[in-house]
């Protein structure tokens, strides 16, 4: 991936290249750089094909970028989602809202209560005949 290179930066690099190599040697230098980059690209493609063939079936879509820790985490921990999508899905209220709305719609259709009422509490402070003081566990 290329960094943010604007027109001004490219123009500056071209002027520096002309000053360093001269206008007569510059085309040959550009050809050499292009040939080198083409060779590097051919080498990496060959290495990638070799790794794919050594890994066997199931890895036909393997790329070296899959080995980057960020890509590994995204692919295997986040099920292919971007981190922003995973956070949105985890903390977003839309799923809960949809679930609640569906429950209310179902209850309205069937006439059943949306949530069952909690069971009535046992006699306050009496268990197996022994009297215990009544206290509120939320305040202690």
pLDDT one-digit tens code per residue, 90-101: 776 777 788 888
Q: Average pLDDT over the chain, rounded to whole?
A: 76
What is the length of the chain? 140
* Burial class, 26, CB count within 10 angstroms (exposed 0-12 / middle 13-18 / buried 19+): middle
Calculate mean pLDDT across residues 93-110: 79
Query: What is the model's pLDDT at position 42?
Result: 95
Asked if 17 contacts 26 with a C-beta cutoff of 8 angstroms, the reply is: yes
User: How much is the average pLDDT of 28-35?
Assistant: 90
Reported confidence tier of residue 107, pLDDT bands at 50, 70, 90 = confident
Task: Write out the H or E segment, with its range, that includes residue 131.
Answer: strand 130-131
Predicted local confidence at residue 25, as pLDDT: 87
How far is CA 124 from each of CA 117, 136, 137, rounded to the nearest angstrom?
Answer: 19, 11, 13
Weakest mean pLDDT among 3-12, 54-63, 73-82, 103-112: 73-82
With CA atoms as reference, report the closest residue to 48 among 61, 33, 36, 31: 61
Beta strands 126-127 and 130-131, pairing class: antiparallel
Structure tokens, 129: 């005949």
Tell me how many degrees the CA angle 124-125-129 measures, rounded to the nearest 5.
Answer: 115
Model confidence band, residue 24 (pLDDT cutoffs 50, 70, 90): confident
The residues with which 43 forms a beta bridge, in sequence order, are none
Average pLDDT of the segment spanning 58-85 = 74
Give 135 or 128, the one with higher predicted confidence.
Answer: 135
- Cα separation, 36 vs 29, in Å, equals 11
pTM of the shown model: 0.41
User: Is it the case that residue 40 has pLDDT exceeding 80?
Assistant: yes
């Amino acid at each position: 991936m290329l960094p943010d290179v604007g027109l001004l930066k490219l123009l500056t690099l071209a002027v520096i290249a002309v000053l360093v190599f001269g206008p007569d040697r510059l085309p040959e230098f550009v050809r050499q750089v292009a040939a080198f980059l083409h060779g590097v690209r051919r080498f990496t493609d060959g290495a990638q094909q070799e790794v794919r063939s050594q890994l066997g079936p199931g890895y036909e879509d393997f790329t070296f970028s899959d080995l980057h820790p960020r890509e590994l985490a995204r692919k295997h921990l986040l099920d292919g989602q971007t981190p922003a999508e995973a956070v949105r899905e985890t903390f977003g209220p839309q799923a809960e809202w949809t679930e609640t709305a569906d429950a209310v719609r179902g209850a309205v259709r069937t006439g059943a209560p949306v949530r069952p009422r909690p069971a009535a509490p046992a006699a306050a402070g009496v268990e197996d005949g022994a009297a215990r003081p009544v206290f509120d566990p939320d305040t202690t």
